[in-house]
Amino acid sequence: MPLVRIDALTADSERLHALGRAVHDALVESIGFPPDDLFQVLTGHDGERSVLRYGQYLGNRDDDLVLVGVTMRAGRTPDEKRALYRRIAELAHAYAGTEPRNVLVTVTENTSVDWSFGDGIAQYAQE
């Protein structure tokens, strides 16, 4: 189960949904997650009441910035992660018009016992 958090500047509901779809499709295609494995938090920032701050470290970004955080269980290869990053950037451009240079992605990995899908149970963990 990936847990996805997307924060985007100048993003209305339509753009947020397009970005969410882009990330989900990339996870299904690149990593092989099931299509119904969907858990996302999508947040738009208007630049006044809600702000994202960014610099130009390792890239040239503008106010079309999208930050994508993916939390998932450990075990993916570096090549799978590279394919995921590339596909997220491609689909964010195709679905939401976001320039690939404005898509910053991080992956955080954890273990099976770090997940509970409800009822206070670690469903993935061996008892």
Catalytic residue ranges: 2
Output the CA torsion sign for 52, 58, 62, 65. Answer: negative
Task: Name the residue among 40, 38, 47, 43 with its Cα closest to residue 13.
Answer: 43
Compute the distance between CA of residue 62 and CA of residue 78 in angstroms, rounded to an integer.
28
Q: DSSP readout, 38-82?
A: --EEEEEE-SSSS------TTS---TT-EEEEEEEES---HHHHH
Rg (CA), the chain: 15
